[in-house]
Amino acid sequence: MPRPTQARGVSSDASQLASWYASVPVVTRTLVTATIATTIAARLRVINPFMLGLYWPLIWNKFHIWRLLTGFFVHKFNVKLFNIIVMVIMLYQYTVDLERGEFAGRTADFAWFIVFCMGAMSAVTWLTQTMCLAEGVLIAVITLWSLHRQEQIVSFYFGFKFPARYLPYVTIALEYVLDHGTIPFGMVYGWMAAHLYYYLSVDLPSQGGLNYIPTPQLFYRYIGQVRRANAQTTSSGSATTSNLYHQRPGGGHFWGTGRTMG
Protein backbone atom coordinates (compact mmCIF):
# COMPACT_ATOMS: atom_id res chain seq x y z
CA MET A 1 0.00 0.00 0.00
CA PRO A 2 1.48 3.39 -0.96
CA ARG A 3 2.31 5.73 1.89
CA PRO A 4 0.22 8.92 2.30
CA THR A 5 3.11 11.10 1.13
CA GLN A 6 3.51 8.96 -2.00
CA ALA A 7 -0.21 9.12 -2.68
CA ARG A 8 -0.16 12.90 -2.35
CA GLY A 9 2.79 13.06 -4.73
CA VAL A 10 0.98 10.99 -7.34
CA SER A 11 -2.15 13.10 -6.92
CA SER A 12 -0.11 16.28 -7.30
CA ASP A 13 1.57 14.99 -10.47
CA ALA A 14 -1.80 14.00 -11.92
CA SER A 15 -3.21 17.42 -11.06
CA GLN A 16 -0.28 19.18 -12.73
CA LEU A 17 -0.65 17.02 -15.83
CA ALA A 18 -4.37 17.78 -15.99
CA SER A 19 -3.68 21.49 -15.58
CA TRP A 20 -1.08 21.43 -18.35
CA TYR A 21 -3.43 19.54 -20.67
CA ALA A 22 -6.24 22.02 -20.01
CA SER A 23 -3.86 24.91 -20.77
CA VAL A 24 -3.02 23.61 -24.25
CA PRO A 25 -4.91 25.64 -26.91
CA VAL A 26 -8.06 23.88 -28.04
CA VAL A 27 -7.15 23.16 -31.68
CA THR A 28 -3.71 21.85 -30.74
CA ARG A 29 -5.19 19.77 -27.93
CA THR A 30 -7.84 18.27 -30.18
CA LEU A 31 -5.47 17.53 -33.06
CA VAL A 32 -2.71 15.97 -30.96
CA THR A 33 -5.13 13.99 -28.78
CA ALA A 34 -6.89 12.57 -31.84
CA THR A 35 -3.54 11.62 -33.41
CA ILE A 36 -2.27 9.91 -30.26
CA ALA A 37 -5.55 8.08 -29.63
CA THR A 38 -5.77 6.85 -33.22
CA THR A 39 -2.13 5.77 -33.22
CA ILE A 40 -2.49 3.82 -29.97
CA ALA A 41 -5.71 2.18 -31.13
CA ALA A 42 -4.10 1.15 -34.41
CA ARG A 43 -0.81 -0.04 -32.89
CA LEU A 44 -2.56 -2.14 -30.22
CA ARG A 45 -4.97 -3.49 -32.84
CA VAL A 46 -7.94 -2.22 -30.86
CA ILE A 47 -9.06 -1.03 -34.29
CA ASN A 48 -7.94 -2.57 -37.55
CA PRO A 49 -5.50 0.02 -39.00
CA PHE A 50 -6.85 -0.65 -42.49
CA MET A 51 -10.24 0.60 -41.30
CA LEU A 52 -8.82 4.06 -40.60
CA GLY A 53 -7.15 5.14 -43.84
CA LEU A 54 -8.73 7.58 -46.29
CA TYR A 55 -9.83 5.13 -48.98
CA TRP A 56 -12.37 6.61 -51.36
CA PRO A 57 -13.84 3.42 -52.87
CA LEU A 58 -14.97 2.28 -49.42
CA ILE A 59 -16.21 5.74 -48.53
CA TRP A 60 -18.46 5.77 -51.59
CA ASN A 61 -19.41 2.11 -51.85
CA LYS A 62 -19.56 1.09 -48.17
CA PHE A 63 -20.29 4.50 -46.63
CA HIS A 64 -17.15 4.47 -44.43
CA ILE A 65 -17.55 8.19 -43.75
CA TRP A 66 -15.32 8.09 -40.64
CA ARG A 67 -12.34 7.64 -42.95
CA LEU A 68 -12.75 11.29 -44.01
CA LEU A 69 -11.55 12.16 -40.51
CA THR A 70 -9.45 9.25 -39.23
CA GLY A 71 -7.29 9.25 -42.37
CA PHE A 72 -5.67 12.46 -41.11
CA PHE A 73 -4.74 10.99 -37.74
CA VAL A 74 -3.19 7.71 -38.86
CA HIS A 75 0.42 7.32 -39.97
CA LYS A 76 1.70 5.05 -42.70
CA PHE A 77 1.62 1.44 -41.57
CA ASN A 78 5.35 0.88 -42.07
CA VAL A 79 6.48 3.83 -39.93
CA LYS A 80 8.38 2.86 -36.79
CA LEU A 81 6.91 3.81 -33.43
CA PHE A 82 9.87 6.04 -32.53
CA ASN A 83 9.39 8.05 -35.73
CA ILE A 84 5.69 8.46 -34.92
CA ILE A 85 6.55 9.76 -31.45
CA VAL A 86 8.95 12.29 -33.00
CA MET A 87 6.29 13.45 -35.47
CA VAL A 88 3.67 13.81 -32.72
CA ILE A 89 6.08 15.95 -30.69
CA MET A 90 6.75 18.09 -33.75
CA LEU A 91 3.02 18.38 -34.44
CA TYR A 92 2.41 19.60 -30.91
CA GLN A 93 5.24 22.12 -30.87
CA TYR A 94 4.59 23.74 -34.24
CA THR A 95 0.81 23.71 -33.83
CA VAL A 96 0.88 25.26 -30.38
CA ASP A 97 3.40 27.82 -31.61
CA LEU A 98 1.01 28.92 -34.37
CA GLU A 99 -2.07 28.87 -32.16
CA ARG A 100 -0.41 30.98 -29.49
CA GLY A 101 1.31 33.19 -32.04
CA GLU A 102 -0.15 34.04 -35.44
CA PHE A 103 -3.57 32.68 -34.45
CA ALA A 104 -3.68 33.99 -30.87
CA GLY A 105 -7.30 34.85 -30.12
CA ARG A 106 -8.32 33.43 -33.51
CA THR A 107 -9.23 29.84 -32.70
CA ALA A 108 -11.89 29.62 -35.39
CA ASP A 109 -9.46 30.81 -38.06
CA PHE A 110 -6.86 28.24 -37.02
CA ALA A 111 -9.45 25.46 -37.01
CA TRP A 112 -10.45 26.58 -40.51
CA PHE A 113 -6.83 26.39 -41.67
CA ILE A 114 -6.62 22.77 -40.48
CA VAL A 115 -9.96 21.84 -42.06
CA PHE A 116 -9.10 23.62 -45.32
CA CYS A 117 -5.82 21.71 -45.61
CA MET A 118 -7.57 18.44 -44.86
CA GLY A 119 -10.13 19.17 -47.55
CA ALA A 120 -7.47 20.10 -50.10
CA MET A 121 -5.51 16.92 -49.35
CA SER A 122 -8.69 14.85 -49.62
CA ALA A 123 -9.33 16.22 -53.10
CA VAL A 124 -5.86 15.19 -54.25
CA THR A 125 -6.00 11.72 -52.70
CA TRP A 126 -9.09 11.10 -54.79
CA LEU A 127 -6.67 10.63 -57.67
CA THR A 128 -3.71 8.95 -55.94
CA GLN A 129 -5.41 6.86 -53.23
CA THR A 130 -3.02 7.99 -50.49
CA MET A 131 -4.62 6.60 -47.34
CA CYS A 132 -2.54 7.88 -44.39
CA LEU A 133 -2.29 11.66 -44.11
CA ALA A 134 -1.09 12.38 -40.56
CA GLU A 135 2.28 13.31 -42.05
CA GLY A 136 0.47 15.66 -44.43
CA VAL A 137 -1.17 17.53 -41.55
CA LEU A 138 2.24 17.84 -39.88
CA ILE A 139 3.87 19.30 -42.99
CA ALA A 140 0.94 21.68 -43.54
CA VAL A 141 1.50 23.09 -40.05
CA ILE A 142 5.29 23.24 -40.48
CA THR A 143 4.89 24.95 -43.87
CA LEU A 144 2.62 27.68 -42.53
CA TRP A 145 4.94 28.13 -39.53
CA SER A 146 7.94 28.53 -41.84
CA LEU A 147 6.15 30.94 -44.16
CA HIS A 148 5.83 33.37 -41.26
CA ARG A 149 9.45 32.96 -40.20
CA GLN A 150 11.22 32.59 -43.52
CA GLU A 151 14.54 34.15 -42.51
CA GLN A 152 14.64 32.78 -38.99
CA ILE A 153 17.45 30.26 -38.52
CA VAL A 154 16.41 26.83 -37.29
CA SER A 155 18.61 24.03 -36.02
CA PHE A 156 17.95 20.58 -37.44
CA TYR A 157 19.49 17.23 -36.54
CA PHE A 158 23.23 17.14 -35.83
CA GLY A 159 23.31 20.93 -35.47
CA PHE A 160 22.53 21.57 -39.14
CA LYS A 161 21.22 25.15 -39.44
CA PHE A 162 19.32 26.86 -42.24
CA PRO A 163 16.57 29.48 -42.80
CA ALA A 164 13.10 28.38 -41.74
CA ARG A 165 11.75 28.66 -45.28
CA TYR A 166 13.63 25.45 -46.13
CA LEU A 167 12.28 23.47 -43.18
CA PRO A 168 9.38 21.76 -45.02
CA TYR A 169 11.69 20.68 -47.86
CA VAL A 170 14.33 19.32 -45.50
CA THR A 171 11.68 17.41 -43.56
CA ILE A 172 10.20 15.91 -46.73
CA ALA A 173 13.66 15.01 -48.03
CA LEU A 174 14.55 13.31 -44.74
CA GLU A 175 11.35 11.25 -44.87
CA TYR A 176 12.20 10.30 -48.47
CA VAL A 177 15.61 8.99 -47.37
CA LEU A 178 14.30 7.20 -44.27
CA ASP A 179 11.59 5.51 -46.34
CA HIS A 180 14.17 4.11 -48.78
CA GLY A 181 13.40 6.41 -51.69
CA THR A 182 9.61 6.29 -51.48
CA ILE A 183 8.06 9.66 -52.27
CA PRO A 184 6.08 10.84 -49.19
CA PHE A 185 3.00 11.92 -51.12
CA GLY A 186 1.07 12.75 -47.94
CA MET A 187 3.72 15.30 -46.97
CA VAL A 188 3.80 16.74 -50.47
CA TYR A 189 0.03 17.21 -50.39
CA GLY A 190 0.25 18.92 -46.99
CA TRP A 191 2.88 21.30 -48.35
CA MET A 192 0.69 22.12 -51.35
CA ALA A 193 -2.40 22.68 -49.18
CA ALA A 194 -0.60 25.06 -46.79
CA HIS A 195 0.85 27.08 -49.67
CA LEU A 196 -2.58 27.34 -51.27
CA TYR A 197 -4.08 28.53 -47.99
CA TYR A 198 -1.32 31.09 -47.47
CA TYR A 199 -1.62 32.46 -50.99
CA LEU A 200 -5.41 32.78 -50.93
CA SER A 201 -5.75 34.15 -47.38
CA VAL A 202 -2.53 36.15 -46.93
CA ASP A 203 -0.58 36.91 -50.12
CA LEU A 204 -3.51 37.72 -52.38
CA PRO A 205 -5.34 40.00 -49.91
CA SER A 206 -2.07 41.79 -49.08
CA GLN A 207 -1.82 42.67 -52.80
CA GLY A 208 -5.30 44.17 -52.82
CA GLY A 209 -7.17 41.03 -53.81
CA LEU A 210 -10.00 39.25 -52.06
CA ASN A 211 -9.71 36.52 -49.49
CA TYR A 212 -11.36 33.68 -51.41
CA ILE A 213 -11.34 31.28 -48.47
CA PRO A 214 -12.69 33.30 -45.50
CA THR A 215 -13.43 31.37 -42.34
CA PRO A 216 -17.06 30.17 -42.50
CA GLN A 217 -19.41 31.84 -40.05
CA LEU A 218 -20.24 28.41 -38.68
CA PHE A 219 -16.72 28.25 -37.20
CA TYR A 220 -17.13 31.62 -35.50
CA ARG A 221 -20.49 30.62 -34.15
CA TYR A 222 -19.42 27.33 -32.57
CA ILE A 223 -15.74 27.97 -31.84
CA GLY A 224 -15.54 31.74 -31.41
CA GLN A 225 -12.54 34.05 -31.36
CA VAL A 226 -11.38 37.61 -31.01
CA ARG A 227 -10.67 39.33 -34.31
CA ARG A 228 -7.58 41.51 -34.66
CA ALA A 229 -8.18 45.08 -35.75
CA ASN A 230 -4.78 46.28 -37.00
CA ALA A 231 -2.68 45.22 -39.93
CA GLN A 232 0.65 43.57 -39.24
CA THR A 233 3.79 42.63 -41.14
CA THR A 234 4.94 39.09 -41.74
CA SER A 235 8.50 37.89 -41.21
CA SER A 236 8.97 37.96 -44.98
CA GLY A 237 8.24 41.69 -44.99
CA SER A 238 4.79 41.63 -46.62
CA ALA A 239 1.85 43.34 -44.97
CA THR A 240 -1.18 41.28 -44.03
CA THR A 241 -4.78 42.39 -44.01
CA SER A 242 -6.63 43.46 -40.88
CA ASN A 243 -7.79 40.05 -39.74
CA LEU A 244 -4.77 38.03 -40.81
CA TYR A 245 -1.57 37.19 -39.01
CA HIS A 246 0.54 39.13 -36.57
CA GLN A 247 4.22 38.35 -36.37
CA ARG A 248 5.78 36.88 -33.28
CA PRO A 249 9.38 35.85 -32.70
CA GLY A 250 9.92 32.13 -33.17
CA GLY A 251 9.43 29.66 -30.37
CA GLY A 252 11.01 26.39 -29.35
CA HIS A 253 10.65 23.25 -31.38
CA PHE A 254 11.83 19.69 -31.37
CA TRP A 255 15.30 20.19 -32.83
CA GLY A 256 16.24 23.41 -31.07
CA THR A 257 15.23 27.01 -30.69
CA GLY A 258 14.99 28.92 -33.93
CA ARG A 259 16.52 32.38 -33.87
CA THR A 260 17.66 35.04 -36.25
CA MET A 261 21.41 35.13 -36.72
CA GLY A 262 23.11 38.50 -37.15
- CA count, 13 A, side-chain hemisphere, 119: 9
**pLDDT tens digits along 43-54:** 899 999 899 999
**pLDDT tens digits along 76-101:** 888 888 889 999 999 999 999 999 99
3-state helix, strand, coil in the chain (%, to 5): 60, 5, 35
**pLDDT tens digits along 111-153:** 999 999 999 999 998 888 889 999 999 999 999 999 999 999 9
Reported pTM: 0.81
At residue 6, what is the residue type? Q
From residue 188, give the alpha-carbon distance in Å to each of 5, 52, 117, 174, 242.
Answer: 52, 20, 12, 13, 30
| Separation CA 174–CA 167 (nearest Å) | 11
- DSSP codes joined into one string, 98-113: HHHTTTTT-HHHHHHH
